[in-house]
Amino acid sequence: MILPRKNNERQWNNEKQKFFFRIFALILPMERRRRSVGPNLFSKFLTMRLERLTIINYKNIEQASLTFSPEINCLYGANGMGKTNVLDAIYYMSRLRSAGLTLDEQNVRHGAENFLLKGNYVTEDGTRKDVSCGYQKGHKSVKVNDKAVRRFSEHLGNIPLVMISPSDSQLVSGGSAERRRFLDATLSQHDVSYLEAIMRYDKTLHQRNALLKKSAEHGTPIDSALMDVLENMMEQDAAVIYDRRRAFLNVFVPIFQEVYANLSNVEREEVTINYLSQAERGPLHELFAQGRAKELIVGYSLYGPHKDDLEFQLCGYPLRREGSQGQTKTYSIALKIAQFAYLKNCGRAVTPILLLDDIFDKLDEGRVRKIVSYTTDSSFGQVFITDTSRERMCSLIRLSRREARLFYVSEGTIEGETLETSES
């Protein structure tokens, strides 16, 4: 179907609306190649869908009960009205934290004492999963099918999810912690042993830093016996973390390169990702021994996987130094699309839920025009999209030819709308 275009501006808006649907053409080839990216992959994918969501006192939303489309859900409204908060509530039920990395008490609506989120999920094989997450007086609780989750690590990864938002630019421009968080968010959604290793390592690192800080501040000798125990524990977990990150990147980088090549609007922009790790310099206990005097002065740990980083390169040069705004945005979007493809193909055989928050913001025209040249069917999972324009959302729904629901968000109130025949 060819939509009427009154002028160049209308044509450009329509092409921007097609953006979401065309980028998924890049994911389908990954599915066809799933047998080549690793062993023990499932031959069939299940799609997990969020049927209903209840929100009570979460951020600016006092109360909402929403029923979603199994395919596309569009939320529109002015900026600051709560669209992103709905997506953040969905993110929280998967990752057990806010996408904005806020503390739980900061997610409670002003004037309230607690928040509660409830989600009813179902997969294509009919398996149902009811998840509730609550916070009250410093205590977080999680239940799945009315059974309390004692260890939060047991829940992480059971509802795979990828979120693409303007803040993804921090993957390139931010500090190394942003890039380690990307590694952890991807691996922890399908590798339980990695998640357990990183959690143990972080706990032991905190204990070791406390010993170093005490010695640095008070000039007291360090408990060498306790330090040896902590360092042995850290070394064991550090080896697991390094091996899993290295193995992940060996698979992920070719996927990312293919995605970026299709997103870029120039003939040849070679990209790669270099893994920077102190593990390349030798065993962790040797690094500790070599740097002991320096660590006792600064009062914290200078060596280990908590110092790992990813170097993003474009045409052989650091992207952070040489990349344009358009190249940087394309790079960050490609990273997240590749993350989606990786989790779908190399994870738990469940298509992730996809959250697209304000993806039309500051799109580079040439790169979008390259993307819209791709065509494919829309056989993907459940998607949630936010935008400020109702017209753009309606056009997007028409273009998708998929089942969709439209929601209007204003000052924390969410209302479902009935689409007219001409709009759907």
Domain 1-160+351-424 fold? Rossmann fold (3.40.50)
- What pTM was estimated for this model as a whole? 0.85
Alpha helices in 119-175 (DSSP H): 170-173
Q: How far is CA 402 from CA 69, 104, 333, 382, in A?
A: 10, 36, 23, 11
Report residue 408 as tokens.
């209007």
Neighbours of 146 (CB within 10 A): 7
Domain with CATH 1.20.1050.90 in the chain: 173-347
Q: What is the pLDDT of residue 359?
A: 75
Whole-angstrom distance, CA of residue 319 vs CA of residue 327? 8
Task: Kindly give the confidence (pLDDT) of every residue in the chain, 424 residues in length, as a single tens digit, with 9 standing for 90 and above.
Answer: 333 344 554 554 555 445 444 454 444 444 444 434 333 333 357 888 999 999 999 999 999 999 999 988 999 999 999 999 999 999 999 999 999 878 999 999 999 999 999 999 999 888 999 999 999 988 999 999 999 999 998 899 899 999 988 889 899 999 999 999 999 999 999 899 999 999 999 999 999 999 999 999 988 888 999 999 999 999 999 999 999 999 999 999 999 998 888 877 666 789 999 999 999 999 999 999 999 999 999 999 999 999 999 999 999 999 998 888 878 888 998 899 899 889 988 877 788 998 989 876 655 545 544 433 332 234 468 889 898 989 888 877 777 777 889 999 999 999 998 776 556 6
Domain with CATH 3.40.50.300 in the chain: 1-160+351-424
Identify which of 197, 195, 177 has the alpha carbon closest to the alpha carbon of residue 186.
195
Query: Sign of torsion, CA 77 78 79 81?
Result: negative
Report residue 156 as tokens.
């992480």
Identify which of 159, 53, 163 has the alpha carbon closest to the alpha carbon of residue 101.
163
Domain 173-347 has CATH 1.20.1050.90: yes
Report residue 362 as tokens.
């500051």
Burial (0-12, 13-18, 19+ Cβ within 10 Å), 129? middle
Task: Kindly report the backbone phi and psi dihedral angles of residue 201, in degrees, each rounded to the nearest multiple of 5, phi listed first.
Answer: -60, -45
Identify which of 197, 194, 49, 196 has the alpha carbon closest to the alpha carbon of residue 123.
49
Q: What is the pLDDT of residue 344?
A: 87
Q: What is the pLDDT of residue 101?
A: 79
Residue 408 contacts residue 77 (beta carbons within 8 Å): yes
Q: If you search the block for the tokens 């990954």, which residue do you land on?
A: 30
Whole-angstrom distance, CA of residue 19 vs CA of residue 370? 10
Q: What is the pLDDT of residue 392?
A: 80
Residue 332 contacts residue 326 (beta carbons within 8 Å): no
